[in-house]
Amino acid sequence: MELKLLSTSDIAVFVDGLLKAGKVVVAPVLKQSGKVFFKPVQSFAEVATDYIQTAFSAKEVVFPKVEELFTYQHNEDGSLDIKDQLDRIPETVVWGLRPCDAAGFDYLNQFFLKENPDVYFKARYDKTTLVTVSCSKCDESCFCTSVDSHPGDTKGSDILLTAMDGKCYVEVITDNGLALINSAKELFTSTDTLSKEAFLAKPATHFSMDEIKDKIQYAYASAEWKHASMGCYSCGACAFACPTCTCFDIQDEGTQDHGKRVRCWDACGMSQFTKHASGHNPRNTQTERRRQRLMHKFKYSVENLGVVSCVGCGRCIRVCPSHLNIFENILSVMN
Ligand code: SF4
Ligand code: SF4
């Protein structure tokens, strides 16, 4: 890892330079609603810098809400044309995501590429560089320190920026990150000292993953799941806001002669997700669906991929119309 310094006044010069070089820059933008969302920007002037967390994560860059996988066309001579858009995916920089979200990308990487690599995800991921910003503040929904992370964590990032004492410290973690820095070498100087702990936010730690790994083995039959799901509308907002939820649905749109195949976000908390064509639904109640979502995050993904698939970003807590709280639910089923 290399450590560099960037003058805070040169941050805008750096980002605008990336845009001039033809990269797509996706960054936090303040909307009229007062909430901050990741959007492609045309200039650093559009980028929000004073926010705790964006309403939705940036996972859409590598796992779009609705993704055209390919188009198909039966020709009169009996041949079939199948075309995808993989060679048109642009080089993209995600700017200003939080360390929890970068850890979310790390999980997505494991999920989509570890077994049966997904070519669509890989094509996007390989063209994406993540520039993360350490957190100096947090709110009561943040709990990254409960899930093996922290507000200055470098996991999943290509570059981590920590702006303090009038300087911006730049931790260059990957070759992708180094290539980005080298595209504007003149803006960066080398340094070898960084002590960021005093600057970082101090989110409350509600549990440790060591505790969870043991106790969650016995959680499946807990009567507390009923309370943990009470009031859940099955709206799916928690899953759509989440940086690590990966449920999807594949649909063909068109006729048997021509059309397209699309992949769309879905959510295991929605009642239709596991419904069979026969009408039978193996997860017929919201209690079973809420349990599945939380057990997947804290038990099944740990068993299957070796990583907890909740990064403690708190979005599902902030967005839930019923004020369901994932860390309170996990604590209640374990105790
Ligand atoms: S956001 Fe809340 S109400 Fe909606 S599905 Fe998630 S837990 Fe249920
Ligand atoms: S489950 Fe909730 S807190 Fe955990 S990563 Fe997803 S949105 Fe964030």
User: pLDDT for 280-332, tens place per residue?
Assistant: 999 999 999 999 999 999 999 999 999 999 999 999 999 999 999 999 999 99
**Is 5:185 a contact under the CB 8 Å cutoff?**
no
Please list the pLDDT of the chain residue by residue as tens digits (335 residues): 899 999 999 999 999 999 999 999 999 999 999 999 999 999 999 999 999 999 999 999 999 999 999 999 999 999 999 999 999 999 999 999 999 999 999 999 999 999 899 999 999 999 999 999 999 999 999 999 999 999 999 999 999 999 888 889 999 999 999 999 999 999 999 988 888 888 999 999 999 999 998 899 999 999 999 999 999 999 999 999 999 999 999 999 999 999 999 999 999 999 999 999 999 999 999 999 999 999 999 999 999 999 999 999 999 999 999 999 999 999 999 87
**Is 216:303 a contact under the CB 8 Å cutoff?**
no
Nearest CA to ligand 2 atom 6: 242
- pLDDT at residue 195 in the model: 85
Nearest CA to ligand 1 atom 8: 232
The residue to mutate among 315, 322, 330, 331, having the most atoms of ligand 2 within 8 angstroms of its beta carbon, is 315
- pLDDT at residue 74 in the model: 94
> From the CB of 235, is ligand 1 less than 6 Å away?
yes
Strand locations in the chain (E): 2-7, 24-30, 36-41, 66-74, 80-83, 92-97, 128-133, 159-164, 167-172, 188-190, 248-254, 258-265
- pLDDT at residue 165 in the model: 81
For residue range 148-174, what is the model confidence (pLDDT) as tens digits?
A: 999 999 999 999 999 888 889 999 999
d(CA 253, CA 250): 10
Strand locations in 173-310 (E): 188-190, 248-254, 258-265
Q: Is 169 helix (H, G, I), strand (E, B) or coil?
A: strand
Distance 63 CA to ligand 2 centre (A): 16
| Order of all β-strands in the sheet with 188-190 | 36-41, 24-30, 92-97, 128-133, 159-164, 167-172, 2-7, 188-190
Ramachandran category for residue 95: left, alpha or beta (phi over 0 → left; psi -120 to 50 → alpha) = beta
> From the CB of 324, is ligand 1 less than 6 Å away?
yes
> From the CB of 269, is ligand 1 less than 6 Å away?
yes
- pLDDT at residue 279 in the model: 93
- pLDDT at residue 27 in the model: 98
pTM of the model: 0.94
